[in-house]
Amino acid sequence: MDKFKQFLKNIAPITDKEFADSISVFTELHLKKGDFFVKQDKICRNIAFIVSGTIRIYYINQKSEETTYSFCQENCLTTSFKSFIFQTPSQLTLQALENTVLLTIDYDKLNVLYKDYPIWQNIGRIITQNEFLNMEKYASVLNNETAKEKYLRLLKEQPNILQKASIEDIASYLGITRRTLSRIRQEISK
């Protein structure tokens, strides 16, 4: 709970009272390794704060290959954004890579918060902005960096992902093949 409060306070000046009122509509959800938080083609009803654990988001691309969209870890929010905001079927799948604890809120309850607490409007807007900036950064990396640079960046930014995700998952996140990632790892280990 404290983690979530701190997370929100870093976004907007939510009062303790507002937080206490709000937190009561969140639900704690425990996922086991391999469990799904959102499945493809289902409408994503919830957005979640990750208290602990790791969620892998992926989709099936035009070539029918699984592509990792992102790895979400502790102290981050996770959802199938497009599906959640439009309440349409999700193209993304969200799956726990390890046992994971979430604080979730569903679409209707979030809209009640938006209505009752103006601060939540700010929080919602800022979160969307942050998601945009993250995606912009990711696109810039994909556009400008070599396979090796992208891998080293991931190691630096999410060092523990290596212990949690498979080589396959990481390769598709970086937009390269397993073979290329294997070569890079070999080269680095020297």
Other CB atoms within 10 Å distance of the CB of residue 155: 14
By CB under 7 A, the residues from 136 to 165 that bind DNA are 146-148
Token code pair at residue 151: 């891998």
**Is there binding between residue 36 and a second copy (CB under 8 A)?**
no
Question: Among DNA, a second copy, none, what binds residue 111 when CB lies within 5 to 8 Å by partner kind?
Answer: none
Of 2, 41, 63, 190, which lies in the binding site for a second copy, with binding defined by CB under 8 A?
Answer: 63
Q: What separation in angstroms does the CA of 160 have from each of 66, 72, 123?
A: 21, 12, 28
Pick from 28, 86, 177, 188: which binds DNA (CB under 7 A)? 177
Where b means 16+ CB within 10 Å and e means fewer, 26-38 reads beeeebeeeeebb
> Could you say which DSSP state residue 166 is in?
-
CB of 80 to DNA, least distance (A): 22
Residue ranges in contact with a second copy by CB under 8 A: 59, 61-63, 65, 67, 69, 81-82, 85, 121, 124-125, 128-129, 131-133, 135-136, 138-140, 142-144, 172, 175
